[in-house]
Amino acid sequence: MGTNTSSIVEQSLTALLDDSTFLPELSGEGRSKAFTSLTSILSTPNHVHKSFLRVALQDGRVIRIPAFRVQHNNIIGPYKGGIRFHNSVDEDEVSNLASLMTLKNALHEVPFGGGKGGVVIDPKDFEVKELNLICRKYVQYFSQVIGPEKDIPAPDVGTGEREMDWMMGEYKSIHPGMKYRGSFTGKSIVNGGSLGRKQATGKGVYFSLRYMLHDFVTAEYKWLTERDNIFAKTVLDHKDKSLTMAIQGFGNVGSVVAAEAKKCQLLNNKVVAVSDSNVTLYNAEGLDITELIKYTKTNDGDLPTNEESLKEANVKATICDRDELLTLDVDVLVLAALGGQINQGNMKNIKAKILVEGANAPITGDADSYLSEQGTVIIPDILANAGGVIVSYFEWLQGRETQFYSEEQVYKKLYDKMQNTFKTVYPQYFGDAFPLRQNCYIHAVMKLSTVLFKQGKLY
C-alpha cells in the first residue's frame, strides 16, 4: 500500500482550520464541528461494492474472482476512475485510489468525483475469451451502479482499450436504448475513444517535470534564488544540468515518458535505465528508447531479458535485477509501475533528488516524509499523472457532443489544463515549507470543502 490518502486529507484540514480566510462564514464551535464533518466525509467512501465474479474457464472449471467498485465522493460530478486487473488488488487499495481520484479531479478542476475498480487476477493467466468473459461479468455484476451520469470507469493497470470496448459493449446490451458512449472512457477510436487518450498519462507525467525544471525555473529564477526553501535549492541545482533519468515501468505510462524525454529539446536529459516486472536495463550513455519501444510492441510488452534478446532488439545495455533501478545514482527517477515501490525498507538508498509519480501511490507515507526532509523534490501522483483522467473527461465530452478533437487539440487542451494547476501549486510549494503533495491536497480539499459547505452537506 502506498501513501494513505485519508491521513493526508486530515493533515490538510488541520492546516486549514486555523486559516480564517478559508470558509470565513464558519467560526468558533461551529467551525470545529464543520471541519470534523469534512474529515469524516472526505476520509471515507460513499459506497463499497464487492462481488465474486462467476467465470467458466475454457478447461471446464468454474472459478469465483473477487471484484470491487468503490465510489468515494461525487459532490463535484459523477464518480470516475479506472479498473485494474492485478493480483495485489484488495478493498483497502481500491478505496485509497478512489479517494485519490476525488482529490485529483478537484485539484485539476475536472467535474468528476472519485471512484476505482479492481479485479483480483493476473491477466496473463487467462485466455482472451476468458478475459472477455471476466470483463462482461464485471459489468453485469455492477451494471446498476455505473453509467455515463453515475460512475464512468476507465483503464488502469492490466486493462486497456480492448477491455473498455468489451465493457462498453456489455453495458449497451444490458441497457438497450440508453446512452452508452460515455459509460466507459479509454476506448478505441472506432468505439468513440479520444485521440491521445492512450498517451495522455505519460505525456502529462513528463510535462509536469519539464514545466517545473524548465518553464517555471526559467520564469521564476530570481524569485527562487531569494527563497529560503530546501526544494527551491534542489531544482536550482538541476537547472541547465545534463540530467540522467531512470524509469520504473515500461508500459503505457513509462514508455511514453521515455519517448517524451528523448524528443524534448528544452531539457538536456537522457534515459539511462528502464525496468519492468522482469528486468532493469542500464546504459550510462543513454538507452535507445525507439528500439526498446519497437521491441516491446512485438514481445507482449516485455523488455529484453538476456543478451540474445538485446541483440534482437538492437539495444546496448547492461542487464540488472529489476529492483536495482530504484537505487541507481541518477538525477530523476520516474515511478510508473505499482504502489508502494519506495518504502521504509529502501528509502535511505534512494539517490535521485527528483522523483515523479507516474503510478498511483508508489511512495509510502514514511518514505515520502523522509525523502522530503532530505530536500528531495517529489512531483506526486495527484499532480503528475492526471493526464489520463483529464483526457478521459475530453473523451466523455466528445461522446456527448459527437464532435471529436484532433490529437493536436487534445494535447493542447491537456497541457493548458495541467499548466493552470502548476501555476497555482508550484509558487506555493517553493514559497512555503509544505511538500508538494501536501500543497496539492490542501488545494483539492479547499475546493471540495467549499462545494460541500455551499451545498449544505456539513450539517
Q: Residues near 29 by Cβ (< 8 Å), separated by ≥ 6?
A: none
Residue 1: predicted pLDDT: 36
Are 417 and 390 a contacting pair, CB within 8 Å?
A: yes
Task: Give the chain's length.
Answer: 459
231 band by pLDDT with thresholds 50, 70 and 90:
very high
Q: Which parts of 344-447 are beta strand (E)? A: 354-357, 377-379
Reply yes or no on whether 262 is catalytic: no
Residue 7: predicted pLDDT: 84
Task: Give the cell for residue 353.
Answer: 533528488
Q: What is the pLDDT of residues 183-230, one digit of tens each?
A: 999 999 999 999 999 999 999 999 999 999 999 999 999 999 999 999
Q: What is the pLDDT of residues 47-105, one digit of tens each?
A: 999 999 999 999 999 999 999 999 999 999 999 999 999 999 999 999 999 999 999 99
Averaged pLDDT, 410-428: 96
Query: How many CB atoms neighbour CB 24 within 10 A?
Result: 9
Averaged pLDDT, 225-250: 95
402 band by pLDDT with thresholds 50, 70 and 90:
confident
Are 393 and 110 a contacting pair, CB within 8 Å?
A: yes
The number of CA neighbours under 13 Å toward the Cβ of 332 is 32
C-alpha span between 373 and 433 (Å, rounded): 10
Residue 6: predicted pLDDT: 80
Are 343 and 93 a contacting pair, CB within 8 Å?
A: no
Whether the per-residue pLDDT at 179 is higher than 80: the answer is yes
Whether the per-residue pLDDT at 2 is higher than 50: the answer is no
Whether the per-residue pLDDT at 13 is higher than 80: the answer is yes
What would you report as the CA-atom Rg of the chain, rounded to the nearest whole angstrom? 22
Averaged pLDDT, 377-403: 93
Q: Residues near 368 by Cβ (< 8 Å), separated by ≥ 6?
A: 3, 378, 435, 437
C-alpha span between 68 and 94 (Å, rounded): 7
Averaged pLDDT, 335-349: 95
Query: In whole numbers, what is the pLDDT of the chain averaged over residues?
Result: 95
Whether the per-residue pLDDT at 3 is higher than 80: the answer is no
C-alpha span between 309 and 332 (Å, rounded): 27
Q: Of residues 80, 104, 116, 353, which has the active-site annotation?
A: 116
Q: What is the pLDDT of residues 254-308, one digit of tens each?
A: 999 999 999 999 999 999 999 999 999 999 999 999 999 999 999 989 999 999 9
Alpha helices for 333-406 (secondary structure H): 365-373, 381-384, 387-401
For the whole model, what pTM was predicted?
0.91
The number of CA neighbours under 13 Å toward the Cβ of 52 is 3
Main-chain dihedrals φ then ψ at residue 252, nearest 5 degrees: -60, -35
Q: Residues near 137 by Cβ (< 8 Å), separated by ≥ 6?
A: 53, 54, 55, 67
Report percent pLDDT > 90 for the chain.
91
Averaged pLDDT, 375-385: 96
What are the angstrom distances between the C-alpha of 36 and each of 5, 10, 42, 233, 447? 17, 9, 10, 37, 17
Task: Give the cell for residue 132.
Answer: 472477455
Q: Residues near 189 by Cβ (< 8 Å), separated by ≥ 6?
A: 195
Are 399 and 192 a contacting pair, CB within 8 Å?
A: yes
On the 0-12 / 13-18 / 19+ scale of CB atoms within 10 A, 183 is buried
Averaged pLDDT, 179-185: 93
What are the angstrom distances between the C-alpha of 360 and each of 335, 337, 376, 385? 9, 8, 18, 8
Angle between helices 91-107 and 5-17 (to 10 degrees): 40
Q: Is 117 in a helix, a strand, or coil?
A: strand
C-alpha span between 202 and 246 (Å, rounded): 14
Averaged pLDDT, 326-355: 97
C-alpha span between 435 and 377 (Å, rounded): 8
Q: Residues near 269 by Cβ (< 8 Å), separated by ≥ 6?
A: 242, 243, 244, 245, 261, 331, 332
Main-chain dihedrals φ then ψ at residue 358, nearest 5 degrees: -80, -30
Q: What is the pLDDT of residues 105-129, one digit of tens each?
A: 999 999 999 999 999 999 999 999 9
Are 227 and 430 a contacting pair, CB within 8 Å?
A: yes
Q: Residues near 116 by Cβ (< 8 Å), separated by ≥ 6?
A: 68, 69, 70, 72, 81, 82, 83, 84, 94, 95, 97, 98, 101, 156
On the 0-12 / 13-18 / 19+ scale of CB atoms within 10 A, 161 is buried
